[in-house]
């Protein structure tokens, strides 16, 4: 059955200017996101995984235009977000909400949780107080919080409860897509599982679509139907979670996965230790960005940047080992 693409990201770029000298002229660019393409289908969870600094969070923020893209297209529900005016984009954000790693940083300590959750409703056409209260209470309960908890302040909540508030705040506008950026990274493992279960329950109940960004391969595997692996601002491998975890093709994905423990205590997997550091995104290698650390690098890798190659309709790898 054909699936609907809710989000289509095409050749997305986000470069940050580097300025130097007395006149603060532009002397270069940090290529945080460089030519990244992927789609997210209606009702699925696409996980984006990679080490810190790989550009995954910048990708999420650029999709929402919290950061303006340097190039590329972001089509959401058939609309190119990059072409929308600021006002039209503000209205569109009703449909795309973000859940952050540390909701506490963005929760106003002087407002009750119910006020925080309902804050966005008047700007989107709901101004009746009773209706705001009804929607807030319904959303609190949906997220496993009580109406009474809604009368409390953020400092009275644990980390897991605060993340529930963050999710409730994202849900109140009934979005179609949620971009969750490291939503459980700051939580204890047992609480992480509760929040992941909550996100999965909400997806089943409300038909939500998630773009789930995390550095944690195990968490991403648990929640995602498909997974994209990023390195130094570029997408390295993208496909079904089942295939990617069972049979990773890209040398970088192979190295990442070799570091996570196997469920079977008798099974053995050789750990691939990567040499060297991640190069600077201000001066990425000319060919394959992974070449300086890749145990399988060939001459061509240093000169020519590999493009995403499709294995099947929906499985792609950017590596010369698989170039046709
Ligand atoms: Fe390694 Fe070359 Fe593939 Fe890059 S293109 S991952 S350097 S084999």
pLDDT digits (tens, 9 = 90+) for 83-120: 899 999 999 999 999 999 877 787 899 999 999 999 99
What residue's CA is closest to ligand 1, atom 1?
A: 297
Q: Is 278 in the pocket of ligand 1 (CB under 6 A)?
A: no
Task: Say what the pTM is.
Answer: 0.94
What residue's CA is closest to ligand 1, atom 5?
A: 319
Nearest CA-CA partner of 47 in 190, 163, 174, 196: 196
pLDDT value at residue 169: 96
Interval 249-267: pLDDT, tens: 999 999 999 987 766 666 6
Beta strands in 223-298 (DSSP E): 226-231, 234-240
CATH code, residues 5-95+175-246: 3.40.50.300
Interval 133-180: pLDDT, tens: 999 999 999 999 999 999 999 999 999 999 999 999 999 999 999 999
- Residue bearing the bigger pLDDT, 277 or 206: 206
Which pLDDT band, with edges at 50, 70 and 90, does 1 fall under?
very low
Tokens coding 89? 């984009």
Beta strands in 163-233 (DSSP E): 177-181, 209-214, 226-231
Query: Candidates 321, 322, 323, 324: which one to mutate for ligand 1, based on the most atoms within 8 Å of Cβ?
Result: 321
3-state DSSP assignment of residue 7: strand
- Report the mean per-residue pLDDT for the chain: 93
CA of 269 to the centre of ligand 1 (A): 21
pLDDT value at residue 323: 81
Q: Which of ligand 1's atoms lies nearest the C-alpha of 320?
A: 5
CA of 296 to the centre of ligand 1 (A): 6
Q: Domain limits of the chain?
A: 5-95+175-246
Instruction: Count Cβ atoms within 10 A of the Cβ of residue 112 and give its class: 0-12 exposed, 13-18 middle, 19 or more buried.
Output: middle
pLDDT value at residue 290: 97
First to last CA, the chain: 28
| Distance between CA atoms of residues 264 and 250, nearest Å | 23
What residue's CA is closest to ligand 1, atom 3?
A: 319
Which pLDDT band, with edges at 50, 70 and 90, does 299 fall under?
very high
pLDDT value at residue 101: 87
Q: Is 187 in the pocket of ligand 1 (CB under 6 A)?
A: no
Tokens coding 200? 């999965």
Residue 139: phi and psi, rounded to 5, are: -70, -40
């Amino acid at each position: 059955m054909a699936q609907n693409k809710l989000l289509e990201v095409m050749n997305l770029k986000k470069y940050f200017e580097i300025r130097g000298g007395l006149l603060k002229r532009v002397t270069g660019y940090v290529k945080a996101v460089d030519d990244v393409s992927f789609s997210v289908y209606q009702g699925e969870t696409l996980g984006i995984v990679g080490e810190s600094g790989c550009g995954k969070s910048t990708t999420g923020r650029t999709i929402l235009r919290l950061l303006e893209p340097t190039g590329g297209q972001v089509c959401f529900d058939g609309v190119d977000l990059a072409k929308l005016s600021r006002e039209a984009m503000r209205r569109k954000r009703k449909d795309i909400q973000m859940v952050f790693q540390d909701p506490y940083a963005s929760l106003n300590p002087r407002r009750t949780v119910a006020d925080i959750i309902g804050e966005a409703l008047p700007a989107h056409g709901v101004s009746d107080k009773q209706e705001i209260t009804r929607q807030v209470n319904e959303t609190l309960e949906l997220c496993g919080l009580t109406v009474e908890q809604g009368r409390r302040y953020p400092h009275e909540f644990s980390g897991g409860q605060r993340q529930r508030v963050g999710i409730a705040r994202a849900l109140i506008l009934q979005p179609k897509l949620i971009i969750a950026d490291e939503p459980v990274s700051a939580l204890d493992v047992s609480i992480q599982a509760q929040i992941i279960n909550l996100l999965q329950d909400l997806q089943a109940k409300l038909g939500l679509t998630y773009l789930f960004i995390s550095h944690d391969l195990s968490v991403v595997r648990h929640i995602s139907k498909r997974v994209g692996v990023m390195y130094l601002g570029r997408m390295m491998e993208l496909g079904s979670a089942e295939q990617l975890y069972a049979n990773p093709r890209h040398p970088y994905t192979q190295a990442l996965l070799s570091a996570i423990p196997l469920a079977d205590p008798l099974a053995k997997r050789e750990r691939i230790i990567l040499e060297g550091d991640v190069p600077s995104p201000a001066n990425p290698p000319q060919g394959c960005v992974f070449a300086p650390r890749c145990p399988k690098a060939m001459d061509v890798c240093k000169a020519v940047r590999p493009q995403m190659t499709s294995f099947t309709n929906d499985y792609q790898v950017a590596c010369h080992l698989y170039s046709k």
